[in-house]
Amino acid sequence: MLGLEKKDFRLLLIVVALTMLAPFILNPFPEGSDMAQFNAGYPDLMQRFVIFGILAIGFNILFGLTGYLSFGHAAFLGVGSYAAVWMFKLLSMNVVPAILLSVIIAGVFALIIGYVSLRRSGIYFSILTLAFAQMSYALAYSVLTPLTGGETGLQPKPGDPRILDGALAPGETATPGFFGLFDMRDSLELSVGGWVFTFNVGYYFAAVIMIIAFYISIRIFRSPFGMMLRAIKSNQTRMSYTGLNARPYTLAAFVISGMYAGLAGGLLVSMDPQAGAERMFWTASGEIVLMTILGGAGTLIGPVLGAGFIKYFENIVSKINKTTLEGWFYWMPDGIEDVVITIIYPFVGKGWHLTLGLLFMLVVIFLPGGLVEGGQRIAAALKRKKPDDAKSSATEPAE
């Protein structure tokens, strides 16, 4: 089906189901309850789940298949964002041309950086990509201020030409849309009992693109090209002895990965039309690496899970403050309540990085294959139990 094996097709169906039903899955607790703090079914966060999932999928094509660790992928995310904003300013607020331009510009930029960086491998390649990303950040922050807006960032303004859209009415703001049919910010709310489910146009638009990007990544993983990338990761020296040149394959993987990052950058701007140099900083590149390793480098769905995991902590756990904790533990005696809050508070709110770091350490130590390996272990344990249960319940034939 769709050129996929049964196992891959089932995985694709699971991703489709999770993304389409996300407003329900991410809102398990009713509004107004103490646990509603952990709901993640609001548009901005759901959009980030799928957009950074695309970013991680693309990075996994490079790192997961070839083993080349790039510390500069945020540069392509930033370049894609700037390209999309300029398309909004000059041509139209239609997201389709903006996204296409962001992918093309990011691909060209990745081709230039990859051509230079891939002359080296290992840690030297990683440092080169980091250097290029930091140079891009410095240029966007200072030298290229007329193009990037510098520290204030770049965003569409009412006075921009927008050749295809024409002038705006007084007081009207430019919002990204899809061929004038709908805006990315349009939403529909469904109230069921104490639950409120939000269906956002921008989220579903990004989710459909993520599903397509995920499908393409499966085809790459299962293709002869993907097998060549695995061979490079396994033993590039032995591969070169056979007479095969690995550079064209690694460069192609680098460019494809950069185009995925540009796509993510264009989608970010399509949801919130502004771009800033902070998206190109080295910490953003480090976050991409964490997403991929945490979910499971070299696996298909792992990077998506890792991206969702980190973005959940960043947006949910970081909002827990002392007032929230006091509301949770109000039933405890005063002395014990203060002790519990004192112990927990450093790990939430501004200290959410500490919790994420501890969890990342546990995953790396006990689950080297990431969250996917954890799921595989649970599935294997359940499979081992089933035959035992079947044997115990079977009746012995009468003699």
| Stated pTM of the model | 0.91
Nearest by Cα to 176 from 100, 99, 107, 260 = 99
Q: pLDDT: is 170 or 389 the higher one?
A: 170
Which pLDDT does position 337 carry in this prediction? Answer: 87
Q: Say whether pLDDT at 397 is over 70.
A: no
Residues 279-298 have a mean pLDDT of 90
Element (H, E) at 219: helix 201-222
Nearest Cα residue to 306 out of 356, 349, 256, 260: 356
396 has pLDDT over 60: no
Which among 254, 350, 365, 267 is positioned nearest to 307, based on CA atoms? 267
287 by DSSP, 3-state: which? Answer: helix
pLDDT at residue 392, rounded to an integer? 47
260 vs 385, higher pLDDT: 260
Strands 187-192 and 195-200: antiparallel
Q: For the chain, what is the mean pLDDT?
A: 89
Indicate the pLDDT class of residue 171, thresholds 50, 70 and 90: low
168-172, 216-220, 334-338: least confident range? 168-172
Pick the CATH number of 6-25+41-315 from 1.10.10, 3.10.360, 1.10.3470, 1.10.3230: 1.10.3470
Q: How far apart are CA 198 and CA 23, in angstroms?
A: 6
**177: Cβ contacts below 8 Å, ≥ 6 apart:** 93, 94, 95, 183, 184
Does 390 have pLDDT greater than 80?
no
Helix ranges restricted to H, 21-42 = 22-25
Task: Tell me what percent of the residues of the chain surpass a pLDDT of 70.
Answer: 95
Average pLDDT on 271-295 reads: 91
pLDDT tens digits along 21-63:
999 999 998 888 878 888 898 899 999 999 999 999 999 999 9
Q: pLDDT value at position 214? A: 96
Q: Which residue has the higher pLDDT, 295 or 396?
A: 295
Mean pLDDT of 382-394: 60
Among 56, 68, 72, CA closest to 283: 72
* pLDDT tens digits, 269-280: 999 999 999 889
Predicted local confidence at residue 169, as pLDDT? 64
Q: Which amino acid is at 336?
A: I
Q: Encoding tokens for residue 90?
A: 């000059």
Q: Which pLDDT belongs to residue 170? A: 63
Instruction: Please give the Cα distance from 23 to 162 (Å, whole number).
Output: 34
Q: What pLDDT score was predicted for residue 356? A: 86
Non-local (6+) Cβ contacts of 217 within 8 A are 57, 58, 60, 61, 300
Here the tokens at position 326 are 């006091």
Is the CB of residue 69 less than 8 Å from the CB of residue 133? Answer: no
Q: Parse the chain into domains and list their residue ranges.
A: 6-25+41-315, 321-390
Give the pLDDT of residue 78. Answer: 94
